[in-house]
Amino acid sequence: MDRSLLTSLNEARAARRPVAVITELETGKKRLLLSTEVTGDSLEPQISARLTSGKSGVEETPQGDHFIQVYIPSVRLVVIGAVHITQALAPIAKACEFDLTIVDPRTAFATPERFEGYSLHADWPEEILNATLLDPFTALVAVTHDPKIDDFPLKAALEAGCFYVGALGSRKTHAKRVARLLDAGVDQNAIDTIHSPIGLDIGAATPAEIAVAIMAEIIEKLRNQSVLGASK
């Protein structure tokens, strides 16, 4: 491996860009391709498939064996609202190996005691959310019920291309939210992608059951829409 390839690989990973490294096992020759550079490569179908599945492995080809290693950014979950549902959602998200960040400016909710061991910010989303936190490998759920807190992160998540954006609230609450987001200049098509009512319809009744429904909906989106191979 060439030193410059190692550097480029680490740069791509640090920037959370999906990248593939292809090694010709006969010769040791390597090449690095960002997910945006795969088109036209002699192994394009194989590389694309592996970027989509997130799985590395050896491909046997007439030109010899190639090891295709894909580096996919870890999947993040940003939760707006340090509420009861979030207390149930946090351990589920952790078990599913999501990188979890919780944001709630209300210090009565965002206490270390309630969220011990989790990344918790008792700040306004405006102060925390930025391009390094929101990207296509991030899911955002807003569960405070408070437009002053929820609206900004919903808009920011849609703009950042987060693969899942969900908001708690009844259909009536959501209709008002849609009107506010339209007023704020958010595109109708983008607004239509917000999951609300939030979570798969499993008849969830308790905070823990709602958390399960939310997590299931996020995973469904992640696994069924080639999010892992998404490129930006």
Partner 1 sequence: MTETSFEKFDALMVAQNWVNEGRKIAIATVVETWGSAPRPTGSHLVIDSEGNFEGSVSGGCVEGAVVFDAVDAIESGKPTMLEFGVADETAWEVGLSCGGRIKVYVEPVTT
CA-based nearest residue to 191, from 220, 168, 167, 215: 167
Query: Closest CB to partner 1 among 30 and 106?
Result: 30
Report the alpha-carbon distance of residue 121 to residue 83 in Å, rounded. Answer: 13
Query: Closest CB to partner 1 among 78 and 168?
Result: 78
Within 15-170, residue ranges assigned H as helices are 44-53, 84-95, 125-128, 147-160
Tokens representing 157? 């998540």
Compute the least distance from the CB of residue 142 to partner 1, in Å: 24
Compute the least distance from the CB of residue 71 to partner 1, in Å: 5
Distances (CA, A) of 140 to 50, 128, 157, 163, 196: 26, 13, 7, 8, 12
Compute the least distance from the CB of residue 134 to partner 1, in Å: 17
Query: Closest CB to partner 1 among 10 and 39?
Result: 10
Query: Closest CB to partner 1 among 74 and 206?
Result: 74
Query: Closest CB to partner 1 among 143 and 228?
Result: 228
Q: Give the residues lining the site for partner 1 (CB under 8 A).
A: 1-3, 6-7, 9-10, 13-14, 23, 25, 28, 54-58, 67, 69-75, 97, 99, 228
CA-based nearest residue to 92, from 214, 197, 206: 214
Compute the least distance from the CB of residue 151 to partner 1, in Å: 30
User: Sign of dihedral through CA atoms 219, 152, 81, 166?
Assistant: negative
Report the alpha-carbon distance of residue 20 to residue 14 in Å, rounded. Answer: 14
Compute the least distance from the CB of residue 153 to partner 1, in Å: 22
